[in-house]
Amino acid sequence: MPSVHRSQKYGITFSSLLVIVAVTAWAQTEPADQAEASLADSYASSHKTIEVLGRLLFWDPILSGSRDTACATCHHPDFAYTDGRELSRGTGAIGLGPARVDTSNAMIPNVRRNSPTVLNTALNGVSNGGVGGGTGPGLSRQNTGERAPMFWDNRVRSLALQALEPIKEFEEMRGPDYTKEAILAVVVSRLEEIPTYRQLFDEAFGAGSAITSTRLGEAIAAYEKTLIAINSPYDQFLAGNRGAFGAQQQRGLEAFNRVGCGGCHGGLMFSDYDLHTEGVPEHPALDQPDPGAGRFNFRTPTLRNIGLTAPYMHNGTKPTLLDVMQFYNQGQSENPNVANPGESSNDPVMVGLDSTFTTVLSMSDSEMADIIAFMEALTDSNFDRSIPTSVPSGLTPGGSIQDVVVLERN
Ligand code: HEC
Ligand code: HEC
């Protein structure tokens, strides 16, 4: 196998790239040659080695116990780096997004939450002095980088640490064959056996660097940091260019702040990254209630690219933005474990609603439509949608996402 050198990668021209891709498609080549092709694509030619490595790892199902699930299985560019499902489905399933179906005979359940986008997660915690400012139970102001909050309950900090969690989760990537304690070492030893990964880790972290789970997380984080999409019509409007941000969007922005959305969805990312109790209903498919960070607290999600990431809320129970608006307009808990104001309960530990939620003003239909138009103007569709042509393991990039036809015939 030809070695993977930086100069070779950067020196590649567009026409030789086309030849490599074409030859790969025609000749069904060895995994090593396929890896060459994915290292020569347009992403690889314009990014640092650690980012290229992270992207290949993100797409490589070798990170899952049964080699069928990659990060990209649930964070796919076709769904703005979500999976478009109410609740995610990981290992022991085939197909992409809402079409993904269980093949484990219900041995492996749904993931208990909705897949958030990976776009802009490098900016998690940037509250930018939003009204909420992030000073509540969730975190203090400006928790970025190593302190950046991750997950719907902020339970893990930093992209690099987050990246190891799905690998350890039974229903996400680990599956039935390995224990939580063993899986990371198994994955690391698999990577060590693949020469392309050994070379890429050497290039990214220095020659002779061992492959470790820490570096695995760091490489994936470096890639995720390239997935930024913050040049929406709203941002262009702020920069003085009206573009698609018209009168309705401006009315929506004013209404958004007037009725109290900005109290939690403030700042650059339209999130205080703090925890709040809103009484979102439980998902009917789950056997246990989801208490979030405790007391049914969930993190305020960013509203950037919200027009692309339905369904909504931590468990996908709100199919459209209009459903979300009607939920706020009701201002009522829809969760039996969360009491409404003034509601008496026999349960002494019953949790109440966040007061910033209950004080959102009621809205007319046209105000709700304006706010939706404003939120849709927070979309930057110009994010990287590229998919590696191959990954160093020789497995299918993204895992079992293309295998739907097989099941139909069973
Ligand atoms: C089976 C589907 C699935 C797979 C596979 C998966 N994720 Fe996720 N991801 C989710 C779900 C669901 C959540 C939210 C979980 C929670 O809040 O408890 C999430 C959360 C995240 C977050 C936090 C986003 C935020 O704003 O808080 C990041 C980042 C992320 N995943 C990256 C990854 C990476 C990297 C991998 C691969 C190592 C991966 N995911 C694999 C479904 C998946
Ligand atoms: C009390 C703080 C707070 C206020 C006020 C608030 N939100 Fe939220 N928002 C949240 C939290 C927390 C969630 C996630 C709740 C969950 O999943 O349990 C959320 C979820 C959402 C979602 C779904 C995002 C996704 O990725 O699934 C949208 C859209 C949204 N809010 C818009 C609004 C609008 C519009 C307003 C004003 C009418 C508003 N919010 C007011 C905290 C708030």
Give pTM, 2 decimals: 0.91
Q: Are 88 and 109 in contact (CB under 8 A)?
A: no
One fold for 6-116+155-228+384-404 and 233-376: yes
Q: Are 26 and 359 in contact (CB under 8 A)?
A: no
Per-residue CA distances from 55 to 6, 83, 317 (Å)? 16, 17, 31
Ligand 2 site, residue 338, Cβ cutoff 6 A: no
How far, in Å, from the CA of 163 to the mean position of ligand 1? Answer: 8
Q: Where are the domains of the chain?
A: 6-116+155-228+384-404, 233-376
Fold (topology level) of 6-116+155-228+384-404: Cytochrome Bc1 Complex; Chain D, domain 2 (1.10.760)
The pair of three-digit structure tokens given for residue 317, joined into one six-digit string: 């129970």
The series of mean pLDDT values per 10 residues for the chain, 410 residues long, is: 37 32 36 74 93 98 98 98 98 97 95 98 78 45 83 96 98 98 98 97 95 98 97 95 92 98 93 94 96 95 98 98 98 94 72 92 98 98 96 97 57
How far, in Å, from the CA of 222 to the mean position of ligand 2? Answer: 28
Architecture of domain 233-376: Orthogonal Bundle (1.10)
Ligand 2 site, residue 328, Cβ cutoff 6 A: yes
pLDDT of 403: 67
The pair of three-digit structure tokens given for residue 261, joined into one six-digit string: 């959305």
Q: Are 35 and 388 in contact (CB under 8 A)?
A: no
Q: Which atom of ligand 1 is nearest to the CA of 63?
A: 38
